[in-house]
Amino acid sequence: MEATPEARTEVSLERTLEELLAVERFEPPAGFTRRRHIEADQAAADADPEGFWADAARDLLTWETPFTQVLDDSNPPFYTWFADGTLNLSVNCLDRHVAAGRGERVAFHWRGEEGERRDVTYARLLADTQAFANGLRQLGVQAGDVVGIFLPMIPEVAVAMLACARIGAVHNVVFGGFAPSAVAERMAVSEAKVLVTVDGARRKGKRAEVKAAVDAELGELPALAHIVVVRGPGEHPGVVPMTAGRDVWYDELLAAAEPDCPAVALPAEHPLFILYSSGSTAKPKGILHTTAGYLLGATYTHRMVFDIDADTDVYWCSADVGWITGHSYIVYGPLSNGATSVMYEGAPDYPDRDIWWRIIEEYRVTVFYTAPTAIRTCIKWGPEFPGRHDLSSLRVLGTVGEPINPKAWLWYHLVIGGGRCPIVDTWWQTETGSVLISPLAGVTATKPGSATRPLPGISPALFAEDGKPLTEGTGILVITRPWPSMLRTLYKDDERFVETYFSRFGPSTYVVGDAARLDADGYFWIIGRIDDVINVSGHRLSTAEVESAIVAHEAVAEAAVVAEPDEQTGQAIVAFVTLAGERIGDAEVEAQLRDHVARRIGKLARPRRIIWADDLPKTRSGKIMRRLLRDVAAGRELGDVTTLRDPAVMAVIADRVRGAR
Ligand code: PRX
């Protein structure tokens, strides 16, 4: 029988992928302009890292009062950068571009999930930002107050963030995929004064009544004085509950507000935002970033890593604004550089699995930044979806969030990049504020699966368990010098900040929480987390957070959560659950528990597998041995069980796992 043309292409793609797996190193293509610039930066940073950052800060940012101090390291690990300088971040992202005659340049090509298009220019963004900043002031928001933001991917999310920055309010964005109860928790712990949210959001044609759901979870929050409600795109059939005196419509607030809002010159170290991220306990960490250092990191890395030319590039980062990737590489980096971006509201498979590639073709996107998990999903769907579109505008591809396996890297390179686009595998974290280890497009030779080398001014190292530096091999990843965009503390919890990142090797060594390998060329290969953090589709979740959500269900006595490898999502959650009253679970309880976790944290935290356990493996001191649970979930031989209080427990669990497979 004759193979179809599609089947033939797939066979030859498979063959090419197999052949390319043998290639260890891809030389940078010619035609990229940054090479000389980067060599100069690298030399300057090697000779004098602080001087390098000071020059970059003068060169890339617009200051109200120039700084004279650079790094202050007199009170480690509480570092400050450029502390006596003042500036306003929204001026850097908006006013300076408009003043230079680029007001009509598109900041965001917004694309709605039903195909709607809205082009938001820099001038429009500045006008809305000023009006909303005045609106926030009218609601009583002052510099230093916290403003919560829970919005879908619509331009108003950028307006809300920039309006906060304009008046020195501290934003606290919550990822739109999180459950309303997570929003309530984050508003409570940050003592937010105002929450900006939406009437309803749509996802793949379905509508969620966001405002009503948030209202139902908020409870008594003494600090929260107002809720601003944006009218989201699409139909609005539902009745939106509005509490008189507390709730206001965004468009009405904007229409009534004064149009001009002169920017406030803020100290470089003024807090800019809090972003909650998962740590090794159930309580999320409020990672705090400040103004100038953060903006410098986002601006410099966006420009250099992706080789951005703001006059010609159309850039698209497919992340959600609710993650750090969205903060730094949808909002602050691109806007500070005056670039034109795509902002897309919807899912990658709605209305069809080719929507991303359709958007790239339509807007002639040149630089595309996504996550390995998304690439793996596209591989599963097949090359025919990108194959329907002209992707020849692309010139740089990026990935972030988790290690990328060489095969996915090569598929991205061939099928999306047409074999011509350099791939930048960017390693960083919520805490680091901006990319720290990554190839530079068109400059660095890449090796599939490696984040390659540190950027200029960044000093990563590998330590052995005892703190000895390693020149090659596998170890604990640390950063040995402060950098401008590093977190400054955990919100209102200095002690946890020091304990989490600086207790292991002292106050001048930032402990990342990842293990890595360093090869003979000085290339870093990130292995993964060494703490109780699980990485599901590039999203961080803590085992403790998921466990405490499960245990909060009335039927549950105890739970332990571990990660298992997953082809699609990188890692997946397996929960071992003991029910109250010696019950053994069934499909109904399982569905209830998964639903319960979705409501308490969000859908991405739902365990993929639930294993019913009569008891959990505990040491004599009562500590759960997750290592054994990881082994049993992966079907590996169990190690030593003699330190368990009751060694028989594991045999029962192993039987159940076998039965569940
Ligand atoms: O384990 C690393 C992984 O994601 C963690 C940071 O997660 P988060 O703060 O949510 O930020 C994600 C987006 C910046 C890291 O500790 N990680 C991130 N990027 C990579 C990565 N692992 C391997 N390769 C990467 N490029």
- Listed in sequence order, the residues at least 6 apart from 269 whose beta carbon sits closer than 8 Å to its beta carbon are 80, 81, 82, 83, 290, 291, 292, 293, 488
Does ligand 1 come within 6 angstroms of the Cβ of 400?
A: yes
Q: Rounded to whole angstroms, how far apart are CA atoms 545 and 174?
A: 16
Are residues 131 and 257 in contact, defined by beta-carbon separation less than 8 angstroms? yes
Beta strands (DSSP E) in 257-333 are 266-267, 271-277, 285-290, 314-317
- What does the pLDDT read at residue 118? 98
Q: How far is CA 246 from CA 156, 215, 227, 256, 257, in A?
A: 20, 12, 6, 17, 17
Q: Ligand 1 atom 22: the closest Cα is on which residue?
A: 402
**Ligand 1 centre and the CA of 660: distance in Å?**
32
Q: Rounded to whole angstroms, how far apart are CA atoms 232 and 209?
A: 11
Q: Rounded to whole angstroms, how far apart are CA atoms 313 and 339?
A: 7
Q: Ligand 1 atom 26: the closest Cα is on which residue?
A: 427
- What does the pLDDT read at residue 399? 97
Does ligand 1 come within 6 angstroms of the Cβ of 368?
A: no
- What does the pLDDT read at residue 390? 98
Give pTM, 2 decimals. Answer: 0.92
Q: How far is CA 368 from CA 297, 371, 400, 615, in A?
A: 20, 10, 11, 48
Does ligand 1 come within 6 angstroms of the Cβ of 301?
A: no
- What does the pLDDT read at residue 3? 58
Does ligand 1 come within 6 angstroms of the Cβ of 325?
A: yes
**Ligand 1 centre and the CA of 196: distance in Å?**
28
Count CB atoms within 10 A of the CB of residue 389: 16
Are residues 198 and 230 in contact, defined by beta-carbon separation less than 8 angstroms? yes
Q: Ligand 1 atom 10: the closest Cα is on which residue?
A: 540
Tokens of 585: 């679970």
- What does the pLDDT read at residue 1? 47
Does ligand 1 come within 6 angstroms of the Cβ of 571?
A: no
Does ligand 1 come within 6 angstroms of the Cβ of 401?
A: yes
User: What's the average model confidence in pLDDT over 624-645?
Assistant: 85
- What does the pLDDT read at residue 105? 98
- What does the pLDDT read at residue 120? 98
Query: Which atom from ligand 1 is nearest to the alpha carbon of 435?
Result: 14
Does ligand 1 come within 6 angstroms of the Cβ of 426?
A: yes
Q: Residue 456 has what DSSP assignment?
A: T
Three-class secondary structure of residue 528 per DSSP: strand
Q: Rounded to whole angstroms, how far apart are CA atoms 50 and 28?
A: 29
User: What's the average model confidence in pLDDT over 498-519?
Assistant: 96
**Ligand 1 centre and the CA of 514: distance in Å?**
9
Q: Rounded to whole angstroms, how far apart are CA atoms 502 and 511?
A: 6
pLDDT at 230 over 70: yes
User: What's the average model confidence in pLDDT over 199-221?
Assistant: 94
Does ligand 1 come within 6 angstroms of the Cβ of 451?
A: yes
pLDDT per residue as tens digits for the range 566-622: 988 999 999 999 998 878 889 999 999 999 999 999 999 999 999 999 889 988 777
pLDDT at 63 over 80: yes
**Which residue blocks in 191-306 are alpha helix, DSSP H?**
210-218, 250-256, 291-305
User: What's the average model confidence in pLDDT over 8-26?
Assistant: 87
Tokens of 368: 């595309």
Of all residues in the chain, the percent with pLDDT exceeding 70 is 98
Contacts of 248-254 spanning 24+ positions with Cβ under 8 A: 248/139, 250/132, 250/135, 250/156, 250/196, 253/132, 253/135, 253/138, 253/139, 253/228, 254/128, 254/131, 254/132, 254/135
Are residues 639 and 628 in contact, defined by beta-carbon separation less than 8 angstroms? yes
Best CA proximity match to 601, nearest among 199, 200, 283: 283
Instruction: Share the mean pLDDT of the chain.
Output: 94
- What does the pLDDT read at residue 656? 87
Of all residues in the chain, the percent with pLDDT exceeding 90 is 81
Q: Rounded to whole angstroms, how far apart are CA atoms 465 and 190?
A: 35
Q: Rounded to whole angstroms, how far apart are CA atoms 213 and 201?
A: 11
390, amino acid identity = D
- For every residue of 86-98, DSSP letters joined together read EE-HHIIIIIHHI
- ipTM, interface predicted TM-score of the complex: 0.99
Does ligand 1 come within 6 angstroms of the Cβ of 324?
A: yes
Q: Rounded to whole angstroms, how far apart are CA atoms 515 and 505?
A: 15
* Residue found under tokens 């609106």: 135
